[in-house]
Amino acid sequence: MCGIVGYIGHREAYPIIIEGLKRLEYRGYDSAGIALFDGNSLKISKTKGKVSDLEERSEKEITKNGSLGIGHTRWATHGVPNDVNSHPHASNSGDLAIIHNGIIENYDSLKKELISRGYTFQSDTDTEVLINLIEDVKKKENVKLGKAVQIALNQVIGAYAIAVFDKSKPGEVVIARLGSPLAVGVGEDEFFIASDASPFIEYTKNAIYLEDEEMAIIRLGKEIKIRKIIDDSLVDPYVQELQMNLEEIEKGGYEHFMLKEIHEQPRAIRDTYRGRLLRDEAIIKMAGVEDNMKKFLNADRIIIIACGTSWHAGLVAEYIFEEFSRIPVEVEYASEFRYRNPVITEKDVVIAISQSGETADTLAAIKLAKSKGAFVFGVCNVVGSSIARETDAGAYTHAGPEIGVASTKAFTTQITVLTLIALRLARAKGTMSSSDFRLYLQELELIPQKVEQALKVDEHVKQIAKEYLLSTNCLYLGRGYNFPVALEGALKLKEISYIHAEGYPAAEMKHGPIALIDDRMPVIVIATSKGHYEKVVSNIQEIKSRKGKIIAVVTEGDTAVKEIADHVIEIPDSEEAFSPLLTTIPLQLLSYHIAVMRNCNVDQPRNLAKSVTVE
């Protein structure tokens, strides 16, 4: 987590860094800071709070000129969020400044060593230790900044993306990465440094993504030089052309990114299957699957690894894969999988799902699976991300940048990609007839239109939200394909409105959660017409007889649930396997409206960050 931005060139650095930090605030927003070099002196301004608080403070504290600077937005790991622990951190001499995303795990022993040699520390951070270690190496070894960074990093255990500046050697910034992302925008006589490309998208479309264990010395008027940290060997820079554009990362008239992203889902799903779902030819074309078809067909099982919302998409995929392609599927939290010595063989196919492509636990689980010989397939949204690069093959979800911390369009596009894979395997294995296959292709192609229709419940959902905004607990129930949607609905509500919510398989209610039901407990039930409908209606009756309040998501034209539920929200009819793509829409809207009415920060909920690059 944490977002880092840097600029070295001919423009004023301050506005570029502040605007860039705002775009990276999804990565953390506990504190923010900036260091600017005006040609003579290094000025640092930093504060607890958001980038807007930093703007206010820097207004009073520093003059904002200078065409070299680094900035940081923090998700606190070591040390509480306060002014002192905010980045950038300066070295004891005041010559060096650093911004850092990651964790230095052996910071404590390094700190003790430095203290014994007379260094003092103001903050509780691991980052202040790193900058003083660099300073110490620089003095002891009498080397330049780049070399000092390299020697210091070889003593460090942990993860980092860093940018370091030495005021005695202006015109140069040293960057390095291990386990945390780092991109360099290459312009005309200028360079941009950032955790992702969004801070520099309007200045240049040329980007270099540093690989793990690489560092670079960026000098004005010179080519960027990339080296391996471990052995100093030179690496050829690979300059990529970015596909992203500015509109994609702006709110486009919506009050929040989350609302914009909810409404983008018809387009996002369409983009995800475009060029892959060829209805007229009755084929699905996905290069990553086609090239590795043998691996998929010979697989004893598929293991899906992911975290959070992506894990929920994996659970939906479990139902779809087993139904369509009859391959056994296990879905695992990456954070558990990586630490429990799982049985994995060369006959396993592992599918890793991640919007950001940077989640530390998912990345570690991938490495573990690969080390045991499994074939690992990635489903990521962010192009060029660490997971996209680490996996053996993969398929991107073409959702476009997701900036709201609560995941919405990533979820539905992940399900879309996984559905395409399951359908393709079903045909290859012969577990689905060609007529059913054609029918499913046709149905899948209609989903964006149906999502558009589902989005029309917005105003109705807003009215329902008004009645429940003061609830302290909520229960979400679903069955079959819609059990994971119940989990996802509960996660959305708790993360953005701070109301305690739980998702449960509807039939499991009797085994415990029913004890919670009284006249203050809203229960959101997914009761689509094809998914164990009668059973779910019985569950609704059971809740009603205990005076629970029912908000039911039903298929349009429903009559039975309408008679008993307090509120019904209708969604279009579809194949049951595709219903999660529709039932999830009103649940996203419900959490959104409740959170807005509770005055919560919808796009940046407390304590969270979009990209979880620490374990």
Residues taking part in catalysis: 2, 610
356 scored as a contact of ligand F6R (CB under 6 A): yes
Angstrom distance (rounded) from CA 327 to CA 297: 9
| Options 58, 101, 150, 310; binder of ligand F6R; rule CB under 6 A | 310
For ligand F6R, give the closer residue by CB, 354 or 391: 354
- Window contacting ligand F6R (CB under 6 A); options: 80-88, 305-313, 393-401, 438-446: 305-313
- Window contacting ligand F6R (CB under 6 A); options: 5-13, 356-364, 503-511, 521-529: 356-364
Residue with CB nearest ligand F6R? 308
Q: Are 334 and 362 in contact (CB under 8 A)?
A: yes
359 scored as a contact of ligand F6R (CB under 6 A): yes
For ligand F6R, give the closer residue by CB, 67 or 309: 309
**Residues of span 574-613 touching ligand F6R by CB under 6 A:** 612
Collapsing DSSP to helix, strand or coil, 27 comes out as helix
Q: Are 319 and 481 in contact (CB under 8 A)?
A: yes
> To which residue do tokens 């703007």 refer?
55
Element (H, E) at 569: strand 567-571
Closest CA to 611 of 258, 309, 398: 309
For ligand F6R, give the closer residue by CB, 494 or 520: 494
Angstrom distance (rounded) from CA 454 to CA 318: 24
Pairing of strands 393-396, 473-478: unpaired
Closest CA to 361 of 176, 609, 108, 611: 611
For ligand F6R, give the closer residue by CB, 47 or 356: 356
Q: Are 393 and 377 in contact (CB under 8 A)?
A: yes
Count of residues engaged in binding ligand F6R, rule: CB under 6 A? 14
Binding mask 196-235 for ligand F6R (x = CB under 6 A): ----------------------------------------
For residue 603 the two structure tokens come to 């796009």
416 scored as a contact of ligand F6R (CB under 6 A): no
| Options 85, 86, 309, 583; binder of ligand F6R; rule CB under 6 A | 309
407 scored as a contact of ligand F6R (CB under 6 A): yes
- Window contacting ligand F6R (CB under 6 A); options: 45-53, 98-106, 224-232, 301-309: 301-309
308 scored as a contact of ligand F6R (CB under 6 A): yes
406 scored as a contact of ligand F6R (CB under 6 A): yes
Q: How far is CA 310 from CA 239, 264, 554, in A?
A: 30, 18, 24
| Options 332, 495, 558, 570; binder of ligand F6R; rule CB under 6 A | 495
| Options 198, 355, 584, 591; binder of ligand F6R; rule CB under 6 A | 355
Nearest distance, CB of residue 124 and ligand F6R, angstroms: 25
- Window contacting ligand F6R (CB under 6 A); options: 50-58, 217-225, 306-314, 538-546: 306-314
Contacts 24+ apart (CB under 8 A), 199-202: 199/5, 199/16, 199/17, 199/19, 199/20, 199/21, 199/23, 199/24, 200/16, 200/20, 201/242, 201/244, 201/245, 201/246, 201/249, 202/246
For ligand F6R, give the closer residue by CB, 58 or 413: 413
Strand partners, 393: 377
In sequence order, the 6+-apart residues with CB closer than 8 A to the CB of 87 are 2, 31, 33, 46, 72, 74, 98, 99, 100, 125, 127
For ligand F6R, give the closer residue by CB, 540 or 594: 594
Applying CB under 6 A, the residues found at the interface with ligand F6R are 307-310, 354-356, 359, 362, 406-407, 491, 495, 612
